[in-house]
Amino acid sequence: MGLGSKSQLLSKIATNDKHGENSPYFDGWKAYDKDPFHPTKNPQGIIQMGLAENQLCFDLVEEWIRNNPKASICTPEGVNQFRDVAIFQDYHGLPEFRNAVARFMSKIRGGRVTFDPDRILMSGGATGANELIMFCLADPGDAFLVPTPYYPAFNRDLSWRTGIQIIPFHTDSSNNFKITREALEAAYNKAQQENINVKGLIITNPSNPLGCTVDTETLKSLVSFINEKSIHLVCDEIYSATVFSSPSFVSVSEVIQEMECNRDLIHIVYSLSKDMGFPGFRVGIVYSYNDGVVSCGRKMSSFGLVSSQTQHLLAAMLSDEKFMGKYLAESSRRLGKRFNIFTEGVEKVGITCLPSNAGLFCWMNLRSLLKEKTFEGEMQLWRVIINDVKLNVSPGSSFHCVEPGWFRVCFANMDEETVEIALKRIREFVGKETEKPVKVKRWQRNLRLSFSSRRFDETVMSPHGIMSPHSPIPHSPLVKAT
């Protein structure tokens, strides 16, 4: 039986490619999986800079766990709560967990806003939360507007199983990738003309991949826009506590306190994957101001409940005000320090990053190094960076950026020694061990010399996945889409 007839045995979802795995974003993961860097076992391997993970404060968390053995049900101190926690399966979630999350979300917003624990819905990470909110707000064929550049896995999370469409609208470097009302309006009007039912707008604030917070004026204009059109606004605020320098984070929840707005249209997606560095715990949250969404979403939570063991532990940790205060301050300080080490390190060889104040990554500008200022040129440079420089960074095209030459580089998923090795590799690639300003022409010559089409074919796959292996790999990149 041929593959074609075999695939007809499966559903349309199983056989379509809207999961978005056919992207260099995921191909970089596969290349890394084949040759991962290790300081002693594989010092020439690829350094993973495509993973938006926050590993900078585990020492603090581990200390808290040691000091609070009662919070874990698998310790002599906590085992007497084992039975109650093990049998708990209510899709409302443990009340103490929802209370703790509501207070934590308020704390991150400087106490300027409070959250009602009864509006907190659980889900399997922000991945599940984004899909859950789409299921509640839109039908197959309906559309959501998304500013570019955007998180590559949105294609999977928002549309693969729900059948909704993503309508990208563009931002560019001329105003530091700020969302403009004009671009939004144009995308909305075009969709209307094409008879597409636009149900909403989704943004990430702080932005992945830009690492910037959205300013209050922009947020207000977005809230006005969605009110005028009577469509929804979903704010994915998963990076809200990663802000490390001014301006500080402003949440949509604060903005709607100050303006006339139909709150039924406002929804926040959150998770502990970035702010606390716990992507493995799969703690995702939808906070909706809409009673209908709360009621339906609560029932949908059954598909992605957070384990009660995790809820139990986190209820205790997040409620420890003193610890959380210390954690948030220290995490922000360490992220800022790491950001400075990286950006100053690349500046020494003439590379700049978008000025940013949040996130676990930099948006690095390599436009001047492109052999040709096209997306093919960007892919060529990217392949050289993976194959020769041995860094897995993510090309801007995988974030649907409209300008070739931007790359997202994650800096918080490794220790300082590894960052230094990555910086050294970049400097060597530039051909300068010293700190002299880089001559771009020399870079370009190097790129031409080191790029080989054999590597392109054999090592890293094509931009559109023509050569992407679809056979299972040891660690599925879909599982690790960060």
Ligand X SMILES: Cc1ncc(COP(=O)(O)O)c(C=O)c1O
Q: Which position among 25, 32, 150, 151 bears the catalytic label?
A: 151
End-to-end CA distance of the chain: 37
Q: How near is the Cβ of 5 to ligand X at its closest, in Å? A: 35
204 part of the interface to ligand X, by CB under 6 A: yes
Is 327 labeled as catalytic in the residue annotation? no
Is 238 labeled as catalytic in the residue annotation? yes
Residues 339-378 that bind ligand X (CB under 6 A): none
279 part of the interface to ligand X, by CB under 6 A: yes
Among positions 238, 261, 306, 422, the unique one binding ligand X when judged by CB under 6 A: 238
Among positions 131, 236, 237, 378, the unique one binding ligand X when judged by CB under 6 A: 236
Report the alpha-carbon distance of residue 235 to residue 223 in Å, rounded: 11
On whether the CB atoms of residues 70 and 78 are closer than 8 A, the answer is yes
304 part of the interface to ligand X, by CB under 6 A: no
For residue 23, the one-letter residue type is S
Q: How near is the Cβ of 465 to ligand X at its closest, in Å? A: 20
CA proximity to 25, closest of 116, 145, 149? 149
Residues 97-136 that bind ligand X (CB under 6 A): 125-127
54 part of the interface to ligand X, by CB under 6 A: no
Q: Compute the half-sphere exposure of residue 330: CA atoms within 13 Å on the CB side of its CA.
A: 14
Q: How near is the Cβ of 242 to ligand X at its closest, in Å? A: 10
Is 285 labeled as catalytic in the residue annotation? no
301 part of the interface to ligand X, by CB under 6 A: no
- Separation in Å, CA 95 to CA 84, 88, 227, 272, 482: 14, 12, 33, 18, 29
On whether the CB atoms of residues 406 and 363 are closer than 8 A, the answer is yes
Report the alpha-carbon distance of residue 276 to residue 54 in Å, rounded: 7
271 part of the interface to ligand X, by CB under 6 A: yes
Q: Which position among 199, 274, 390, 432 bears the catalytic label?
A: 274
273 part of the interface to ligand X, by CB under 6 A: yes
Is 457 labeled as catalytic in the residue annotation? no
Structure tokens at 328: 């948030």
Task: List % helix, strand, coil for the chain (3-state, nearest 5).
Answer: 50, 15, 40
Helix axes of 321-347 and 416-430: crossing angle, nearest 10 degrees: 20
410 part of the interface to ligand X, by CB under 6 A: no
The closest residue (CB) to ligand X is 125
251 part of the interface to ligand X, by CB under 6 A: no
**Cβ closest to ligand X, residue 271 vs residue 398:** 271
Among positions 97, 151, 249, 375, the unique one binding ligand X when judged by CB under 6 A: 151
Residues 294-323 as b/e (b if ≥16 CB within 10 A, e otherwise) read: bebbbebbeebbbebbbbbbbbbbbbbeeb
**Residues in binding contact with ligand X, number by CB under 6 A:** 14
Q: Which residues bind ligand X (CB under 6 A)?
A: 52, 125-127, 151, 204, 208, 236, 238, 271, 273, 279, 284, 482
Active-site residue set: 151, 236, 238, 274
